Amino acid sequence: MAGGVLPLRGLRALCRVLLFLSQFCILSGGESTEIPPYVMKCPSNGLCSRLPADCIDCTTNFSCTYGKPVTFDCAVKPSVTCVLPETDYECTNSTSCMTVSCPRQRYPANCTVRDHVHCLGNRTFPKMLYCNWTGGYKWSTALALSITLGGFGADRFYLGQWREGLGKLFSFGGLGIWTLIDVLLIGVGYVGPADGSLYI
């Protein structure tokens, strides 16, 4: 019995060693997993115009003349990511999303790189932007109406919330309580325009 257990233990040990060696070979894969040294000098997701010279490859024009402008074609090195500043492109706006919501809503926009920017990729690209538009309502006007004529619902009518305005009108501002609450809510910006836009 002991003679049969010993070869079985040896077989198990041999299987473990083979399993370890096979996993080691798979993990090493023959490929280098070293990070290139220039990656440590390159800020991730920074502005493309702020990348140091170690992070970009440029083709050099050797037929340049001293004192005259020359152009270079440059591209970021592999494993380096950078972004364009927002002044270098313009995006479409959406007036159909709610700017005052929790969490803040986003909308898909098509952005186009401006003409003066040399772009190595697509000049038009999609981007998710936060809803940020205004319908022309002023916060100061809404607050002034809430303080002076809030008992008659003028603030709610101004913001386009006519149902609440009618409620305040026929209840005399909730006997003054609703008016005081609305002054606070409009004052801190919690109550906004009915169309979901931002104040000017």
DSSP three-state, residue 134: strand
DSSP three-state, residue 29: coil
| Interior angle at CA 94, CA 154 and CA 124, nearest 5 | 160
**Per-residue model confidence as pLDDT tens digits over 187-200:** 998 888 887 777 87
Is 167 in contact with 157 (CB distance < 8 Å)?
no
**Per-residue model confidence as pLDDT tens digits over 146-188:** 999 999 999 999 999 999 999 999 998 888 899 999 999 999 9
The whole-number pLDDT of residue 147 equals: 93
The whole-number pLDDT of residue 24 equals: 55
The whole-number pLDDT of residue 183 equals: 93
